[in-house]
Structure 1
């Protein structure tokens, strides 16, 4: 059993803890190389290393290829031996300077301060460490090859084991697989922050595309990425509070290319974060002061194995989204649930009253915030439901009720028609119909899936809906279908209650409808909600057509030529229809979950 003094959090860390209301706790960082960190170091095929140049700028690099290329050789002393890029690696330049090949650079107790992260992407193990270079040397195995071998001895002064969240599993190879020809989007990068005593190197991971380009001009390159829920220590961000200088390394594991960046960070909290990266409470804006893009500089490759179950969806910049989706929760007041009407076993219509009347266009959506109702507070890990850890519980729902028929006038009530598919919709379905008391903040109304055509122009419009994708068309049609509009609608037999409800509300819908019924005779039936024969008989009587099969390309051929197509369906059907209608004008909306 080892006994050691508990390290205090430094000023930057305690400042972040106070700002973000983190409960008091002991610092788990240990003032030596812990047995766990030593074990991770021994088995890891990669180490990200950070060091600060003479101008005070941190740089990050990535070394490795084979497990055990770095290992403990004495208590809190490690040795590293790795292939590197001889002339372009910024950390090599900082640590070894202009030393000739074979020349040993002595650091001693006052050697260069450096930080590192040993990481095994296969097992998702990682451990941070920081210390000083005791000695180092560079060897050139092949003349004029551009490659070299570095050997370092480092005295470790602090170490900390980290959790496996946001690590997408990969297998590391010393040589690239011969079949790899594609460039993968970054789902992982490494970063270093500076501090006189506790520099830090760590990783950030997520789904491909989680790091966004805010500006990319000849004079400025700015990146933004979300700080997902972590261990609440805020060691990296604590360093940023004291010194905004930082570095990133973004590797391409398929090609060996690497992008080295150094620059300054801004910590964005609350509204400052969500204004740039909606649905984000904490983000980092990285403004580059210098970068290097080095092709095939990494001495290893990787093949993807499995993404982390904690990866949330990619969060787009505010500038990449329609304006209505980016407003702050509560910006448009609140909405109170008035009633729930069940239309099929998994589809219901919900009616809300706004405390501030609003206007919207048919086909647009409303943004509702359920965080007060469903927020679970902080958890470090949540293996039973990893996706909930970074869920802001803000949802967009297409408004299925029509807007006011008077231009510019506002409406105090609206409806959404939704399928029970997840945490928020599941919560709504448990509200027992018209049970009072549920009031949620409204961010606003928005969306571009609208039809501003004149009444004459709508005579050449064709709607295509997949299941509950009918919702924007319900609002567009209102109480009566425009003359000449045709609706192709594919729906499961079990959801015919939704069709019956639409027929009862919209005059002329039966004549305009081309209905395709799937899942005929599937277990569960119609749930006793509607009479199938009555529903289908009404459509045929009104002049519509019904098929008990999937929609096919040939069904749409007769409508092609000079038409405006509007499509709202899940991804599989949407992809097929867009292929079938190549060359046609198609406006589409999706509701991918």
Structure 2
């Protein structure tokens, strides 16, 4: 016999309709939620030493936290519908305060989620707190569950956590204020988080038997939650990734417009709790705030509590982020501050030419419906969504990145616009070339490289815009006297454009190139080898396809690039350095340059935020 109605409410149905979810989803969800806990769920909970849980304060605002104990003392399964919990929470924890200050049964709802971070397993429960007391700083609760649901492992960071007794300290407690300005330490907790706990509330207009709380784990790459301030208020923005399409949390936000988030830092044990007024933004409204996202949740903070060393857990070893994590999506205002704002367009681009450069790399030339201006080393953004037959995917372990793929691509433009000597500027053009590598799981690169020998051309896609500030030219189109380009693999592409532009403008400079490439990627160096402004080229090929040798301008090494290779660059300390390649490659090279004594204003690294 069921004790609770599990049909999806109007908020969940609204979100599903906005996201074009099949109408039978509501029935599927109802069938998947049960009153009692399956044996495997209750057993799972009893083996956890940490547990996410939330309730609401006297104002009805959700506050989530993480309670910690041991795998034998934290949770005890009394029955298929009851969990007894005993845990020590730090003084000032808003969940603890909300539980102990509750006087009305309607405020005793709870929601919980158990996550085993060692194997990405998670299960959710919800119900009400039947009894609670605080004895010798130990919070004891009897939780009656009337909702139980298993969840998928997507977006969960794998980590090993061990019990570690800490000494908590309340660093900030501002539970009732609209004027919130988070300091850098609090912002740092948000920016480092690859795991958050999102608490929501649904108050039914039909029956108390359908009211409840929701708690879910949200994950992504560190920094996936963004923050900003506006008119004295602080907002956090949470992007919505492809999930099970139940939309329980977002549905609750549609009806009750409140949410709370716990941001744990498993390195320091710090915990930041926030609560506030929440709303979901869709389509154009979402993209206006966070480009390339069509569904986000925005929370205006009305309270926060920051407790240092709140978690009695210690992170052991490195974390392993989920392969399903999309790239960090930045706010439009952040992109503008980073110099990554772009002129957007609604016109088309036509692929008109393909030139094969290596076995896996080709140059693709696109003709645009309009003239565009960009700096040598800039990028173009193209949308191929209409060319791909795609539908909803819940999981795809063979190609996890495809689950959130919007089929929009940002590529460096490897061609330079023509230079106008009279006006001392680069002219607008309606053609751009991109040098693109074929990636095994690359949906769009595979599509383009399948068009070999120009068969299937022309091919139309949507042109979104151009942008980019990664260039060796200053505002007056002058260049430093001495340059050092350091490229990893296909990261050579912006330097191809810069070299063409340097040749056009006939700027006098001394250029050195360090290139970490593989095999026939050596063929990408032809223009550099024939240029009079390039004094030296070093290629590092760990595949040993190219034998080690030295000519007048090229030296090939059968190994990876090393710190000493930078030290061997002539007049290194007087050069402006530009780095482009994989993230770890750029980080390593940057650290070597700092060690060598170069100043930060001498080093510029490429990065994409789209």
Contact conserved, 2:354 with 2:363, CA < 8 A, in 1?
yes
CA distance, structure 1, for counterparts of residue 533 and residue 270 of structure 2: 59
Deviation at 1:411, TM superposition (A): 1.6
1:547 aligned onto 2:555: yes
Match of 1:262 among 252, 264, 275: 275
Residue in 1 that maps onto 2:523: 497
3-state SS of 1:557 partner: coil
Contact conserved, 1:206 with 1:308, CA < 8 A, in 2?
yes
CA distance, structure 2, for counterparts of residue 261 and residue 129 of structure 1: 22
Match of 1:245 among 258, 264, 274: 258
Residue in 1 that maps onto 2:512: 488
Deviation at 1:138, TM superposition (A): 0.9
Match of 2:410 among 378, 396, 399: 396
Match of 2:75 among 58, 70, 75: 70
Structure 2 vs 1, CA of residues 487 and 470 (structure 1 numbering), >3 Å: closer, same or farther? farther
Q: Deviations over 1:545-579 (max 9, x none)?
A: 22233682344333644x54444455244543454
1:308 aligned onto 2:322: yes
Structure 2 vs 1, CA of residues 123 and 21 (structure 1 numbering), >3 Å: closer, same or farther? same
Residue in 2 that maps onto 1:144: none
Residue in 2 that maps onto 1:290: 303
Deviation at 1:452, TM superposition (A): 4.1
CA distance, structure 2, for counterparts of residue 559 and residue 151 of structure 1: 64
* Equivalence map 1:186-265=2 (5 Å): 186-196=193-203, 197-215=211-229, 219-265=232-278
Structure 1, unmatched stretches of 5+, are: 99-104, 141-147, 527-531
Structure 2 vs 1, CA of residues 92 and 176 (structure 1 numbering), >3 Å: closer, same or farther? closer
Alignment RMSD: 3.4
Contact conserved, 1:463 with 1:485, CA < 8 A, in 2?
no
Residue in 2 that maps onto 1:431: 451
CA distance, structure 2, for counterparts of residue 520 and residue 253 of structure 1: 37
Match of 2:598 among 582, 587, 591: 582
Q: Deviations over 1:315-360 (max 9, x none)?
A: 22222325885669x7252211111111122321111111222222
What's the TM-score, normalizing by structure 1?
0.83
CA distance, structure 1, for counterparts of residue 474 and residue 60 of structure 2: 59
Contact conserved, 1:44 with 1:120, CA < 8 A, in 2?
yes
Contact conserved, 1:339 with 1:352, CA < 8 A, in 2?
yes
Structure 2 vs 1, CA of residues 259 and 271 (structure 1 numbering), >3 Å: closer, same or farther? same
CA distance, structure 2, for counterparts of residue 247 and residue 130 of structure 1: 16
Q: Deviations over 1:380-431 (max 9, x none)?
A: 1212222222233322211121213345753221111233346133332222
Q: Deviations over 1:200-230 (max 9, x none)?
A: 111111222221222289x422111211111
Deviation at 1:12, TM superposition (A): 0.5
Residue in 2 that maps onto 1:320: 334
* Equivalence map 1:3-22=2 (5 Å): 7-22=6-21
Structure 2 vs 1, CA of residues 285 and 514 (structure 1 numbering), >3 Å: closer, same or farther? same
Deviation at 1:74, TM superposition (A): 2.2
CA distance, structure 1, for counterparts of residue 506 and residue 255 of structure 2: 63
Residue in 2 that maps onto 1:472: 494
CA distance, structure 2, for counterparts of residue 456 and residue 39 of structure 1: 67
Deviation at 1:236, TM superposition (A): 0.6
CA distance, structure 2, for counterparts of residue 20 and residue 520 of structure 1: 47
* Equivalence map 1:158-177=2 (5 Å): 158-176=147-165
CA distance, structure 2, for counterparts of residue 513 and residue 385 of structure 1: 43
Contact conserved, 2:118 with 2:160, CA < 8 A, in 1?
yes
Deviation at 1:156, TM superposition (A): 1.2
CA distance, structure 2, for counterparts of residue 456 and residue 90 of structure 1: 56
- What is the number of equivalent residue pairs in this alignment? 552
Residue in 2 that maps onto 1:150: 139
1:120 aligned onto 2:141: no
Structure 2 vs 1, CA of residues 343 and 235 (structure 1 numbering), >3 Å: closer, same or farther? same
CA distance, structure 2, for counterparts of residue 125 and residue 566 of structure 1: 43
What's the TM-score, normalizing by structure 2?
0.81
Structure 2, unmatched stretches of 5+, are: 168-187, 204-210
CA distance, structure 1, for counterparts of residue 235 and residue 2 of structure 2: 45
Deviation at 1:481, TM superposition (A): 6.6
Residue in 1 that maps onto 2:183: none
Contact conserved, 1:194 with 1:245, CA < 8 A, in 2?
yes
Structure 2 vs 1, CA of residues 383 and 4 (structure 1 numbering), >3 Å: closer, same or farther? farther
Structure 2 vs 1, CA of residues 44 and 513 (structure 1 numbering), >3 Å: closer, same or farther? same
Structure 2 vs 1, CA of residues 156 and 402 (structure 1 numbering), >3 Å: closer, same or farther? same
